């Protein structure tokens, strides 16, 4: 049984062959596997943990490629569904010289949006430790219902529910709907990882400490705000504080938050305690 099960989008990222130019001027792209929840599953496996993935792909060349990649990385794909109703999702990305991104998504609809509640097997979650999901699967009504069914089962079985708001406004019908639905996911989560932009969008606060406190009052037991070169701020019901980052030369920020989440979940599980049992030193070590 996997320690961590992730649910949501699995897609193809087309990353640019040249940085620092707008998307319309990129001369060529390289195909790479992507999708935040899938990235987390792969990250957990690469760190020595075990992970499974729940999602839906098109029964096409890209879908077969992604399923094969996940399996090769050690991710359990027994609950990965293939469909002929829609194609595998695509995202084209441009990068600034500093590694920041601009996205163009092809999802009208994509297969991941059609994950059905009836395709969720609650028994698959029994005996695992963590269910991780993001907000992208909450956009379309069908995948939202499937996500909520999985979350309900996870809470019934006593799993940690890990939630990444993962703000991608162009995918939402409106900013208002995005804020309402994304904020609604906080109440069923035990662990929330946000970046500064997402924290400000959800809470309306530009002050990290205040934003984290506002999220914590919605129900989670742990909130981590990632701050790029500024490290991160972690808050639990027992306290919290800033944790410095490792100095790096930024190349491409795509998937950085997912890698962080994989490391955090792995470190927390290695502690062998419930979230509320962890002291500030143990939490700080896991975040670092």
Start-to-end C-alpha separation, the chain: 27
CATH of domain 4-287: 3.40.1190.20
State the pLDDT at residue 43: 98
- Confidence band of 56 (pLDDT split at 50, 70, 90): very high
How many whole angstroms separate alpha carbon 220 and alpha carbon 217? 7
Q: How many CB atoms lie within 10 A of CB 204?
A: 11
How many whole angstroms separate alpha carbon 193 and alpha carbon 184? 15
State the pLDDT at residue 21: 83
pLDDT in tens, 216-255: 999 999 999 999 989 999 999 888 899 999 898 887 778 8
Of 115, 150, 131, 121, which Cα lies nearest the Cα of 11? 115
Each domain of the chain, given as residue ranges in start order, spans 4-287
Of 191, 151, 186, 188, which Cα lies nearest the Cα of 283? 191
The whole-model pTM stands at 0.94
């Amino acid at each position: 049984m996997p320690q961590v099960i992730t649910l949501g989008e699995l897609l193809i990222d087309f990353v640019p062959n040249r940085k620092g130019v707008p998307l319309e001027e990129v001369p060529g792209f390289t195909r790479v596997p992507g999708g935040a929840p899938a990235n987390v599953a792969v990250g957990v496996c690469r760190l020595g943990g075990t992970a499974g993935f729940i999602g839906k792909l098109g029964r096409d060349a890209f879908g077969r490629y992604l399923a094969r990649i996940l399996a090769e990385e050690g991710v359990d794909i027994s609950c990965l569904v293939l469909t002929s109703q829609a194609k595998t999702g695509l995202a084209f990305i441009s990068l600034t010289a500093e590694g920041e991104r601009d996205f163009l998504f092809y999802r009208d609809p994509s297969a991941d949006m059609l994950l059905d509640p009836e395709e969720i097997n609650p028994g698959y979650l029994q005996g695992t430790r963590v269910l991780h999901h993001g907000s992208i699967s909450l956009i379309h009504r069908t995948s939202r219902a499937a996500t909520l069914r999985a979350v309900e089962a996870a809470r019934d079985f006593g799993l940690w529910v890990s939630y990444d708001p993962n703000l991608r406004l162009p995918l939402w019908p409106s900013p208002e709907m995005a804020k309402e639905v994304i904020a609604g996911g906080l109440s069923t989560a035990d662990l929330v990882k946000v970046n500064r932009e997402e924290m400000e969008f959800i809470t309306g606060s530009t002050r990290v400490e205040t934003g984290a406190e506002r999220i914590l009052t919605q129900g989670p037991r742990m909130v981590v705000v990632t701050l790029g070169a500024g490290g991160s701020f972690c808050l639990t019901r027992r306290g919290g504080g800033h944790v410095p980052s490792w100095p790096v030369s930024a190349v491409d920020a795509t998937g950085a938050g997912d890698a962080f989440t994989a490391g955090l979940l792995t470190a927390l599980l290695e502690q062998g305690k419930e979230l509320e049992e962890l002291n500030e030193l143990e939490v700080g070590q896991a975040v670092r």
